[in-house]
């Protein structure tokens, strides 16, 4: 692939096989970086496989498999985190510890720049939502010991919005609370472009950068858009945040991941997630692509 930007050094991408990570591999390569993708399974790079100059196979939760990960690299960026609910590992094993393992390798190798993807309103959410707490502990570590960092604080990604579309396809969209909380979700390609630009910009060092997409909608409006694109009447159900939190507390001893998810959902019904808009991808076009089956390959689903 021809590089748009000037030639740069090597950048390590952790979480390269995920929804955002795949786009990051492409966006960084387009800006002239030599991309080293950290993967558990190279086959999961999907459309990003061609843009990865090097593939490093390792398990970020197992530090012994990361020896040499960052050798010779100038920068590293991580979009690695747990979204699946099954399995034994929790957000503290993955979102926190696996990212700290990558950070340790970056420090060891003298990497100069580190980009980390956390969440919008992380400082406020961390006491209520374990996913946010786990990621904010990585932010704490970056603030404490470098290298020169940039923390990205996105709103919801389009792959999460695909869940609204799937609910609409099944006939009913479940809203948290009254569905009035607003957000401006962002497409992976738009966020990746934003991150890749910032990673090459010295002015972004030591900064926390919020980012969202061009459409600001309430959760109910997102559901309504999904029904409209499907040409079906809108049907909604309501999940009170208090009920989700209570269910989360009950689930904690049996399934920490389910409990964390329910607490995350409860918070989503109580806070707006609107960040400065960037990018060009519109939610309607994304839903239309999902309807036509044209966006499935971009979602990096397991």
Ligand X SMILES: NC(=O)c1ccc[n+]([C@@H]2O[C@H](COP(=O)([O-])OP(=O)(O)OC[C@H]3O[C@@H](n4cnc5c(N)ncnc54)[C@H](OP(=O)(O)O)[C@@H]3O)[C@@H](O)[C@H]2O)c1
**Residue ranges in contact with ligand X by CB under 6 A:** 15-21, 40-41, 44, 59-61, 79-83, 89, 94-95, 98, 117, 119, 135, 154, 156-157, 159-160, 300
- If the CB atoms of residues 61 and 216 are measured against ligand X, the closer one turns out to be 61
Q: Which two three-digit tokens encode residue 215?
A: 């459409």
**147 preceded by a cis bond (ω within 30 of 0):** yes
CB of 300 to ligand X, least distance (A): 4
- If the CB atoms of residues 105 and 135 are measured against ligand X, the closer one turns out to be 135
CB of 72 to ligand X, least distance (A): 22
- If the CB atoms of residues 41 and 144 are measured against ligand X, the closer one turns out to be 41
CB of 6 to ligand X, least distance (A): 28
Determine the straight-line distance between the first and last CA of the chain, rounded to whole angstroms: 27
CB of 302 to ligand X, least distance (A): 6
- Please tell me the distance from the alpha carbon of residue 45 to that of residue 22, in angstroms, as a whole number: 6
What's phi and psi for 218, nearest 5 deg? -80, 165
- If the CB atoms of residues 130 and 248 are measured against ligand X, the closer one turns out to be 130
CB of 2 to ligand X, least distance (A): 26
CB of 156 to ligand X, least distance (A): 4
Longest dimension (CA), the chain: 56
CB of 88 closer than 8 Å to CB of 121: no
- If the CB atoms of residues 19 and 227 are measured against ligand X, the closer one turns out to be 19
List C-alpha distances in Å: 11 to 65, 211, 244. Answer: 18, 22, 40
CB of 251 to ligand X, least distance (A): 20
CB atoms within 10 A of CB 217: 18
List C-alpha distances in Å: 116 to 81, 99, 149, 209. Answer: 11, 9, 8, 10
The string of DSSP codes covering 42-79 is GGGGGGGGGG-SEEEE--TT-GGGGTTTTTTEEEEEE-
- If the CB atoms of residues 89 and 209 are measured against ligand X, the closer one turns out to be 89
- If the CB atoms of residues 179 and 188 are measured against ligand X, the closer one turns out to be 188
């Amino acid at each position: 692939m021809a590089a748009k930007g000037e030639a740069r050094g090597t950048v390590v991408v952790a979480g390269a096989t995920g929804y955002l990570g795949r786009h990051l591999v492409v966006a960084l390569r387009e800006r002239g970086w030599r991309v080293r993708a950290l993967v558990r399974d190279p086959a999961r790079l999907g459309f990003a496989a061609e843009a990865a100059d090097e593939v490093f196979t390792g398990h970020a939760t197992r530090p012994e498999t990361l020896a040499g990960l960052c050798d010779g690299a100038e920068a590293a960026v991580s979009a690695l985190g747990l979204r699946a609910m099954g399995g034994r590992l929790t957000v503290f094993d993955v979102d926190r510890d696996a990212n700290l393992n990558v950070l340790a390798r970056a420090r060891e190798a003298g990497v100069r720049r580190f980009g980390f993807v956390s969440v919008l309103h992380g400082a406020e959410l961390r006491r209520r939502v374990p996913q946010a707490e786990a990621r904010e502990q990585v932010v704490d570590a970056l603030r404490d010991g470098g290298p020169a960092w940039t923390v990205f604080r996105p709103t919801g990604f389009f792959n999460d919005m695909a869940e609204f579309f799937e609910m609409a396809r099944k006939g009913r969209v479940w809203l948290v609370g009254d569905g009035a909380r607003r957000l401006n979700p962002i497409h992976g390609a738009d966020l990746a472009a934003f991150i890749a630009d910032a990673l090459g910009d010295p002015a972004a060092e030591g900064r926390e950068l919020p980012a969202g997409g061009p459409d600001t909608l309430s959760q109910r409006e997102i559901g309504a858009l999904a029904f409209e694109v499907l040409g079906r009447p809108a049907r909604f159900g309501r999940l009170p945040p208090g009920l989700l939190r209570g269910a989360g507390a009950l689930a904690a001893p049996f399934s920490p991941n389910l409990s964390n998810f329910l607490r995350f959902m409860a918070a989503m019904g109580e806070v707006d997630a609107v960040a400065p808009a960037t990018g060009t991808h519109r939610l309607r076009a994304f839903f239309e692509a999902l309807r036509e089956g044209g966006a499935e390959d971009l979602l990096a689903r397991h």
